[in-house]
Structure 1
Amino acid sequence: MTDWPRWRRHLQQIGERRLLILSGSEAWAMARAVTLGGENRLWVGQAPPGLESQAAGKIQRCLGREYDTLVYNAYSGLHPDAFGALLGTVTAGGLVLLLCPPLADWPGYADPDLARYVAQPEQAAGLESRFIRRFVSLLRQDPQVLLWQQGSRPPALPALPDTPWQRRRDRHGCLNQEQRQALARVLRAARRRQPLVLTADRGRGKSSLLGLAAARLLDAGYRVLLTAPSPAATARALEHSSQRLSFIAPDALLARLPPADLLLVDEAAAIPTPMLLNLARRYCCIFASTEHGYEGTGLGFQLKFQPALARLAPNWQKYHLDTPARWSPRDPLEPLVFRLLALDADPPAPPVGGVLNFRYVCRQQLEDDDLLLQQVFGLLTLAHYQTRPSDLRQLLDAPGLTLALACREQTPVAAALLVREGKLDPALGQAVWRGQRRPRGHLLPQSLAFHGGFREAGDFSYRRIMRIVVHPHCQQQGIGSRLLSWLKQQGGADFLGTSFGASPDLLRFWQHNDFRAVRVGLVADTVSGLHAAMMLWPCSRPAHRVLPAWRGQFSANLAYYREGLLQALPEAWWQSLQLCPPLPMPALDTAIAWGFAFAQRDLMADQAVLARVALAATPLTPLDGKQQALLHALLSPGATPVGVAADYGLPGQKAAVRQLRTIIQHFFPCPHTPCPDC
């Protein structure tokens, strides 16, 4: 390593980057990283005392910047989304230092990131990571990856090509022909007031182009605004506009609506789709974004936002940048990260016809057959807008996850991901119902118990369909429904269930397959703009017996929320939702009201029930006039504790909820009364 500085300079001259693995104890690896890292360095994960570090789950502010060295401490957890996105911030001549345990031991290391894929922390104990094993295998196969193992001599520095990388800006500030064409497209779109979507992988100079275009347009007298998910994401655009632009957050922009001839939207995929569409309705927009889905939003931008933009502005244009601007096209690091995270997974074209067969695929089969893994992950990526690299790790590592495939001639054309939930410990189930515990996972039983108020929900077993996808070339052929029919025949739980963003089309699909709604989210998802719907199909006799009662209670609650929090939903949405007649259960209502008064149940989830109880029952101890007014205000359809607190001069929503708990206690004999029917 005595030639290290000269080798790094040569690496910069040819415009390439390299990955160096520091494999050994964490203290040894950190000490080596300190000496090799340089000044312009981003350290992710645990760092030595005195060095600034960034948590892998909070990298958003780093993505608009450039670094000479990325130090990624995998002892703090290998977060696939962060690793993939941050490699794009490393400039030509840059180095990625990957700190990790000895490679043979790494798959069995207690990786903190595994906690995201299990319901209880103890489930991660002793897990062998198939994702890490595949990761290590691919690293070993790449001749450009340098490995320094503790106890061994430093790696010999490999010879580098002599061909220099030409990186000169032209008179317009562009680095290559593609950037010049993109700049011309942006300027033409601004003159014609024509929306433009500028897409590329990281390192192609999208943000710089926005700044260059802004400078030209400002010189021509245009009023130009710049927005992004965070101020840090605009650093490159501001730099190339000579700091003549100022950042304004998307929500502030929509609240104030300042006049402008053009709005530049950087890192657009990280902004919720409904907000992007609101911006497009009010401004002529240039949207710049990454589409590869490192953060799980790029594909949403492609599959959800762009079709909606086409309906809003049929004359919109799109331009894609392929040529790297931050490093040489010969750089080996980007192809490596694509292989490691299956970012280039591409499902094969499905056969036109043939027999459809169904089967389960276990994680071991996916590990043993990387072609099958690529086909499956490519299918998930192609057909679902929220697929991200972390889903690859979940597919390989998450316990309780099941993959079902529909294949034609051994080619996957549809897939369903299922996870086992339920059968909670009775004490845990009761604590969830009371609002005192929210363990990770178990979405269906937890939501049914806490939001729906169904105390027995935790006693049942569920197979939740996390995702079901059909290859776009095979859609509208009934394949998704046939896959669901096959899953129903497999049994294995009391309920098959699902939770999804409830568009009318999706509601009709699930209801056509005899799934019935038992919950609707009261707040729309920030990415899709849709309210979540939870639906069940009963597999066992106990499930068949209890589901009608749950549906009757749900219908009664929904009738209340339709007058308030859900009143903005269009009539077409309500028409697509098949509901049974409202049939509240008085005993359950009483129990829920008790849980709100004396435990920690949620006001917005219980608002409909509390309104029924307050209307049907008489307080055992009288309420004064202020209490009666507050009770009526908080239980009126559409009321929120924030709004009521402001109207009544209360310090905030917590104070409003606290006072309502005290008021509801008046309907029960005393605080020590046991929960009804408990």
Structure 2
Amino acid sequence: MHFADSSRKLWVLHGEAAILFTKLTVVIEQNKGDWITVTNQANLASNLFNVINPNQTKRLLGQEFKHAIFDATEAFNLDALAMLIGTLVNGSVLILLLPKDFAHWQDYDSLRWNENACPITTPNFIAHLTQVLAEHNYAINHQFVNQFPNIDSTFYNFQEQQNVLKQLLESTKTIKVVIAKRGRGKSALAGQFSHYHHCLVTAPNKNSLTTFFRFAKTTTPFYAPDELITANLDPFPEYLIIDEAAMLPLPILAKLIQLAISKHRKILLTTTVEGYEGTGQGFLLKLLADKACNFFYLQQPIRWHADDQLEQFSDHLMLNGMLSFDTQMLKKNQTIDYSQVDRQDIQALKQIYYLLKNAHYQTTLVDLRRLFDAQNLMVWQAKIGDQRVAAAVTINEGNLTDALIDEVWKGTRRPKGNLVAQSLVAHAGEKLAAKLQSLRINRIAVIELYRRQHIAQNLVQSITNYAEDHGKDFVSVSFAFSDDNYRFWLACGFNIVHIASRKETSSGTYSVMAIKAISQAGHILVEKLQHKLQRNSYWLKQIIDLPFAQIVTSDPDQGLTNEDIEELYGFCYYHRPYESTYAVLCRLHSYNQTQTSKIDLPILSALITNNTSELPVIQQMQLTGKNALMQALKQELAGWLGYWHSAQP
């Protein structure tokens, strides 16, 4: 155990969870505190009254606690640990429980990020954890040393915060953004700001606003983001405060900002840099690029001392600001080497993670765990000398059994992994996509200084060459549609084969799937999927806000085919999604209208007339909700399919 001059302490113990918790009861009884306990264990001692599951730790955000236990004996949830550490105040002890033996330990947290139904060993992460513990002089112990820091846990240093508050009040910009690491007092600062203006506050979770309301004007109202967007408040307060803005889905955040601007009101945003949710600064810079903003930064912690060793340990373990890049420009005739990264080269994997983190605001600690130890994953790099300037991550997909593919098509199973392969079966209705062997590009990034020099394109070509050499049928990618993304993948030789019918929550735009065929079977798959997309786009362009004329040429031939009938059966008698069957339903409606002895399909007609808007149809048909609407539609279709089948020769 390590007890240097630090405001917060870390104890590292290992053994069996039940035994460790039993012994800890004495420590807890002798030392008053909140003792937040993050664990999957059940039936713990009665004096452990603040027990929370690792996947529920977001509920702790914005609050402050003294003393905690983090149980990693079965699963090491790095996100949960990051959140917990950020809530602990000066004078706290964090007790980290590790398994008795790492040699054959299987980490149940891998079920979150590894494409396997069973937990796996995580040797790279364990090596990283062990190295960080050693570098910070934390020994893994069997015995307890009941030694607690004798420090005033109410220590706060508000000087920097007060300076920034003064700057905020003097700023005339419409949007003010406060950016800081955890524990710097962003929420407290926002609360103090509410005393000077008429404000309302919103946040991803009201429970995370405990600190905000401790400092805020007591009459400051809270609205959940969705509620605020639809509330039509009049009058609207002078300021909209959005706490932990980077945790909100991009489209929700954009709507909130637009709402305030449309009412000629101002906005105060707070967000976390290098948090578990990704790099909040990059997130906001992307969203606010064309808006009048002032950015304010808090550097000094207020929940703990500036030299806090628990924060240093946390930053090191989670690679927060621990690495840097050489930013020299690429010189002419300088050789760029494209290669696969050795998955046992932990230092290289750390640098790849940091590269991805700086390039993508959505890169999180889950990506770090995946890079370290996920199975069925390959990592690629572009290097100039010793410097990595680009990276990519690929995942093997396909080669599923016919029985499993049928269940995926029916919507009765959706096993882990095979994102593109399964989606093309489940949503595009093409079973061949999961039968063939493919390589999916999961991530690709280039350091900003080296972009627009064809490095990413050449890296994709290296991946394609590997796929061809190893008998793959195609390379795939799924990306959030934008003009830049679309042009890039087109330049890499990919063909758009499927467009999602709903916007992604995280990006606020539509997910697009593209394929680069390699084998003859791969070319056949692309041809089939493109033909289906050309037929479906005739109807999809009415409900999906994308430049279809730029992406695909619609096929005017909208006759009902045997394949369409099969998809109608899949929707009616199995669990194929309504959105995936929409174009086929439109063709059925059009076909039915031309028949002399047409079958009455009132629900289908109402849905198509309302461009899939369900609420008016539910009200018109006096149904109880969406489930009832879908059941009524299926009954209607069952009648038509029965009639159609009886009419066949």
TM over 0.5: yes
Aligned to 2:474: 495
How far apart are residue 91 of structure 1 and its match?
A: 0.6
Matches of 2:139 and 2:89, distance apart in 1:
18
SS of equivalent residue, structure 2 residue 641: coil
For the 8 Å contact 2:114–2:370, the answer to whether it is kept is: no
State which of 36, 39, 51 in structure 2 corresponds to 1:42: 36
| 666 and 107 in structure 1: CA distance in 2 versus 1, 3 angstrom threshold | farther
Aligned to 1:204: 184
SS of equivalent residue, structure 1 residue 121: coil
Deviation track 1:420-447 (CA, whole Å, cap 9, x = no partner) reads 1111111111000001001111111111
State which of 138, 154, 174 in structure 1 corresponds to 2:144: 154
| 575 and 594 in structure 1: CA distance in 2 versus 1, 3 angstrom threshold | closer
Matches of 1:242 and 1:514, distance apart in 2:
57
Q: Which amino acid in structure 2 is aligned with residue 501 of structure 1?
A: A
Give the TM-score normalised by the residue count of structure 1: 0.86
How far apart are residue 618 of structure 1 and its match?
A: 9.2
How far apart are residue 243 of structure 1 and its match?
A: 2.9
Q: Which amino acid in structure 2 is aligned with residue 28 of structure 1?
A: I
Q: In the TM superposition, what are the counterparts of 1:107-506 in structure 2 within 5 Å?
A: 108-122=104-118, 124-125=119-120, 127-143=121-137, 145=138, 147-149=140-142, 153-155=143-145, 175-189=157-171, 192=172, 194-215=174-195, 217=196, 222-241=197-216, 243-258=218-233, 259-281=236-258, 282=260, 283-296=265-278, 299=279, 301-313=280-292, 316-351=293-328, 352-353=330-331, 354-365=334-345, 367=346, 370=347, 372-490=348-466, 491=468, 492=470, 493-506=472-485
Aligned to 1:598: 573
How far apart are residue 579 of structure 1 and its match?
A: 4.5
2:638 aligned with 1:665, yes or no?
yes
Matches of 1:111 and 1:419, distance apart in 2:
21
State which of 23, 27, 30 in structure 1 corresponds to 2:21: 30
State which of 69, 82, 85 in structure 2 corresponds to 1:84: 82
2:69 aligned with 1:71, yes or no?
yes
For the 8 Å contact 2:16–2:73, the answer to whether it is kept is: no
Identity %: 27
Deviation track 1:519-563 (CA, whole Å, cap 9, x = no partner) reads 112222223211111111011111112211210101221221111
Matches of 1:647 and 1:304, distance apart in 2:
42
State which of 555, 560, 571 in structure 1 corresponds to 2:534: 555
| 607 and 531 in structure 1: CA distance in 2 versus 1, 3 angstrom threshold | same
| 580 and 176 in structure 1: CA distance in 2 versus 1, 3 angstrom threshold | same
Count of equivalent residues? 626
Bigger drift between 608-617 and 222-231 goes to 608-617
Aligned to 1:509: 488
| 286 and 45 in structure 1: CA distance in 2 versus 1, 3 angstrom threshold | same
State which of 53, 56, 59 in structure 1 corresponds to 2:54: 56
SS of equivalent residue, structure 2 residue 210: helix
For the 8 Å contact 1:24–1:101, the answer to whether it is kept is: yes
| 549 and 147 in structure 1: CA distance in 2 versus 1, 3 angstrom threshold | closer
State which of 14, 18, 29 in structure 1 corresponds to 2:9: 18
Matches of 1:341 and 1:317, distance apart in 2:
29
How far apart are residue 647 of structure 1 and its match?
A: 2.3
SS of equivalent residue, structure 1 residue 310: coil
Matches of 1:622 and 1:384, distance apart in 2:
57
How far apart are residue 156 of structure 1 and its match?
A: 8.5
Deviation track 1:29-78 (CA, whole Å, cap 9, x = no partner) reads 21233333443121112344454422222222211111111211113411
Q: Which amino acid in structure 1 is aligned with residue 612 of structure 2?
A: A
Bigger drift between 388-397 and 247-256 goes to 247-256
Q: Which amino acid in structure 2 is aligned with residue 612 of structure 1?
A: R
How far apart are residue 157 of structure 1 and its match?
A: 5.3
Matches of 2:254 and 2:522, distance apart in 1:
42
2:577 aligned with 1:577, yes or no?
no
Deviation track 1:385-430 (CA, whole Å, cap 9, x = no partner) reads 2111111110011101000111111211111100011111111110
Matches of 1:652 and 1:622, distance apart in 2:
31
2:493 aligned with 1:519, yes or no?
no
| 343 and 593 in structure 1: CA distance in 2 versus 1, 3 angstrom threshold | same
Matches of 1:553 and 1:273, distance apart in 2:
31
Deviation track 1:169-215 (CA, whole Å, cap 9, x = no partner) reads 6xxxxx343212111122223xx353211011110111111112212
SS of equivalent residue, structure 1 residue 28: helix
| 465 and 186 in structure 1: CA distance in 2 versus 1, 3 angstrom threshold | same
Matches of 2:247 and 2:608, distance apart in 1:
36
Aligned to 1:101: 99
Bigger drift between 606-615 and 539-548 goes to 606-615
Matches of 1:336 and 1:388, distance apart in 2:
18
2:526 aligned with 1:544, yes or no?
no
State which of 644, 666, 674 in structure 1 corresponds to 2:617: 644
Deviation track 1:331-356 (CA, whole Å, cap 9, x = no partner) reads 10111111111122434225422201
For the 8 Å contact 1:179–1:209, the answer to whether it is kept is: yes
Matches of 1:424 and 1:382, distance apart in 2:
35
For the 8 Å contact 2:445–2:456, the answer to whether it is kept is: yes
**Unpaired runs of 5+ in structure 1?**
170-174
Give the TM-score normalised by the residue count of structure 2: 0.90
For the 8 Å contact 2:71–2:97, the answer to whether it is kept is: yes
SS of equivalent residue, structure 2 residue 12: strand
Matches of 1:583 and 1:131, distance apart in 2:
55
Q: Which amino acid in structure 1 is aligned with residue 220 of structure 2?
A: L
SS of equivalent residue, structure 2 residue 276: coil
How far apart are residue 375 of structure 1 and its match?
A: 2.0
Matches of 1:400 and 1:455, distance apart in 2:
22
What is the CA RMSD across the aligned residues, in angstroms?
A: 2.8
| 128 and 108 in structure 1: CA distance in 2 versus 1, 3 angstrom threshold | farther
Deviation track 1:273-324 (CA, whole Å, cap 9, x = no partner) reads 233233333230111110213123xx2x4324324323132xx110111111
| 295 and 607 in structure 1: CA distance in 2 versus 1, 3 angstrom threshold | same
Deviation track 1:443-482 (CA, whole Å, cap 9, x = no partner) reads 1111101110112222111211001101100001111111
Aligned to 1:172: none
